[in-house]
């Protein structure tokens, strides 16, 4: 699992850069361990709501819980995403564009714009998630399956 996260993180370094977006902090419950090889896709919203080259927050649909992600749309077909869930205890990190860092309001962990842990409690980086644009919508990987309806 750790190797998978590290590999995904390296991929994200090529895709993520500076960005613009600030959002409130709320505890998340989006992404714990997924079965090996499983990819669950969640529709986050219309691509037009995610400006090119900006880190923009999006929420998972209800069936995936209350979690959120930061999406960076590269063009009309390509996007990258980082989990907004702090690796320490799961609070929602907020991007600070003036400093180009994510900060966790709970215990003050800090991450680079690419999700790399810089300081504070917790070990590891923000999870790099697969992302794509299909049918005019942004889709992001969830590390947990959707809850069944019923
Ligand atoms: S939950 Fe983020 S620093 Fe503790």
- Any ligand 1 atom below 6 A from CB of 113: no
| Interval 94-134: pLDDT, tens | 999 999 999 999 999 999 999 999 999 999 999 999 999 99
Query: What Cα–Cα distance (Å) separates residue 60 from each residue in 10, 89, 98, 113, 141?
Result: 24, 19, 26, 20, 10
CA of 119 to the centre of ligand 1 (A): 11
Position 36 scores a pLDDT of: 65
Strands 94-96 and 101-103: antiparallel
Atom 1 (ligand 1) nearest CA: 89
Tokens of 10: 């390296």
Q: Residue 25, by phi and psi: left (phi above 0), alpha (psi -120 to 50) or beta? A: beta
CB atoms within 10 A of CB 30: 24
Regarding the beta carbon of 105 and ligand 1, being less than 6 Å apart is answered no
Which fold, 2-28+38-142?
Answer: Rieske Iron-sulfur Protein (2.102.10)
Q: Whose CA is nearest to atom 4 of ligand 1?
A: 107
Predicted TM-score (pTM) of the model is: 0.76
User: Domains of the chain: which residue ranges?
Assistant: 2-28+38-142
pLDDT, one tens digit per residue, over 44-71 is 999 999 999 999 999 999 999 889 999 9
């Amino acid at each position: 699992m750790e190797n998978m996260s590290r590999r995904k993180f390296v991929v994200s370094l090529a895709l993520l850069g500076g960005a613009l977006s600030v959002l409130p902090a709320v505890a998340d419950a989006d992404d714990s361990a997924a079965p090996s090889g499983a990819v669950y896709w969640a529709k986050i919203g219309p691509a037009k709501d995610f400006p090119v080259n900006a880190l923009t927050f999006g929420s998972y649909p209800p069936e995936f819980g209350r979690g959120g992600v930061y999406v960076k749309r590269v063009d009309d077909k390509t996007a990258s995403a980082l989990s907004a869930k702090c690796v320490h205890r799961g609070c929602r990190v907020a991007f600070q564009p003036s400093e180009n860092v994510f900060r966790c309001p709970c215990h003050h962990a800090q991450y680079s714009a690419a999700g790399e842990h810089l300081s504070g409690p917790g070990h590891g980086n923000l999870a790099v998630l697969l992302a794509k644009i299909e049918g005019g919508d942004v889709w992001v990987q969830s590390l947990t399956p959707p809850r069944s309806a019923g």
